[in-house]
């Protein structure tokens, strides 16, 4: 699903009397398959997290991660999930923006595993 941000826009905050600053986001017009095809044509490989099943690249237990990506993280980094869970218990706060504990969210995820 393409992003709704404009591809090329003048950045008024960074523009000053000596320079004009533009934000250029060409990838925002591309579909997911097009992004991976562009990476392949450049002779590169995507980050390994995508092969593990992630839909988005971020920290293992990102505060904005999807249930799927949290499930992938829990599958591949269970010791880190235990550490985060201990922090949630100790502080009384959750580490995800939904305010749902990470373990609960990761168990709701349906991680796609590489063959």
pLDDT on residue 4 = 75
**CA atoms within 13 Å, Cβ hemisphere of 75:** 18
Is the model's pLDDT at 17 over the cut of 80? yes
Nearest to 103, CA basis, from 80, 90, 85, 83: 85
Whole-model pTM?
Answer: 0.75
- Contact criterion met (CB below 8 Å) for 68 and 109: yes
pLDDT digits (tens, 9 = 90+) for 76-115: 999 999 999 999 999 999 999 999 999 999 999 876 554 3
CA triple 45-50-56, angle to 5 deg: 120
Question: What's the full length of the chain, in residues?
Answer: 115
């Amino acid at each position: 699903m393409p992003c709704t941000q404009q591809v090329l826009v003048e950045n008024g905050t960074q523009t000053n009397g000596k320079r004009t600053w533009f934000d250029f986001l060409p990838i925002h017009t591309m579909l997911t398959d097009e992004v991976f095809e562009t990476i392949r044509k450049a002779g590169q490989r995507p980050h390994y997290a995508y092969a593990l099943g992630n839909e988005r690249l971020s920290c293992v237990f990102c505060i904005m991660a999807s249930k799927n990506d949290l499930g992938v993280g829990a599958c591949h980094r269970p010791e880190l999930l235990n550490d985060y869970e201990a922090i949630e218990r100790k502080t009384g706060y959750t580490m995800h923006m939904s305010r749902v504990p990470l373990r609960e969210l990761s168990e709701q995820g349906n991680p796609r595993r590489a063959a």
